[in-house]
Amino acid sequence: MRTLLEVRRSLPRAAWWAACLSVAAIVLYPLWIMLSQSLKSSAEATENPPTLYPHGLSLDNYQALGNTGAVGIWTHVGNSVLVSAGATVLTMVLATLAGYGFAKLRFAGSGVLFFLILATFMIPFQAIITPLFSILHTLGLNNSLLGLVLVYTTFQLPFGIFLMRNSFAALPASIEEAALIDGCGYLSAMTRVMLPVAVPGLISTALFTFFTCWNEFFAALVLVTDEAKFTLPVTLTVLASNQLGTMNWGIMQAGVAVTAIPCIVLYLVLQRYYVAGLVAGAVK
């Protein structure tokens, strides 16, 4: 398969820029619609056909977003931050330990166990929501943010272990051997020598976990019933509904903009680590 660099060299400069601008327009157009719709007045937001840009800038949708709900929108933002950050930290710790073990500490049955972990990708989350609800009820964690953190961590661990295992496996064995010869134990060699080199994989695991948990809707809807504990995606669904089942597109798009801001900022800041972590282990 031809690489992107080879394709670029074979195309004329104008054709290359035309292709890049076309892809950029396709990606940015939904973001523009989201932002412009959120800045329209309530009357303009419901016009049919919709306008491409706001004829008059208005922050009414953002003000309405902040003043709605029994406990305020920022409480639900805090719930999403708490759940996403908690699941991210827990996944990072467990995936790092497991990934290092599978990559560097060979033991009987490690290949089979790693395959079984990856096989959980084939299990649809919706298929086991009822058993999960029963387990959380038995543990007294139903309708709690802690229970939601544990559920999110469980489903993010397989991919996190896969990334961290590839990240550690791509590192030369001589680095670990030198640390062990100098007197480090396995845990010390991992945390002080191997992990600083495997930072791209760790950041990729953190970003992927945070993005998934931040935008997750179904589990939060089913496992949390207290309105004060709703995460942001669930809250936006409730707030966007008007009377007679109509959709308040202005508030919905304002909420989507608020939801997208942390993800966009984190990705732009950590982009180079994210890309490097995803391809870790692909080339020795």
Mean predicted lDDT score pLDDT of the chain: 81
Three-state DSSP class for residue 184: coil
**Looking at the whole model, is its pTM more than 0.75?**
yes
- Tens digit of each residue's pLDDT (9 = 90 or more) over 253-266: 888 888 888 888 88
Give the Cα separation of 176 and 186 in Å (integer): 8
In the chain, where are the structural domains located? 4-59, 64-278
Q: Is the pLDDT of residue 90 over 90?
A: yes
Which pLDDT tens digit goes with each residue over 104-155?
887 788 888 888 888 887 888 788 888 888 888 898 888 899 999 999 998 8
Rounded Cα gap, residues 149 and 235, in angstroms: 18
Neighbours of 80 (CB within 10 A): 23
* CATH superfamily, region 64-278: MetI-like (1.10.3720.10)
**Percent of the chain's residues with pLDDT above 90:** 14
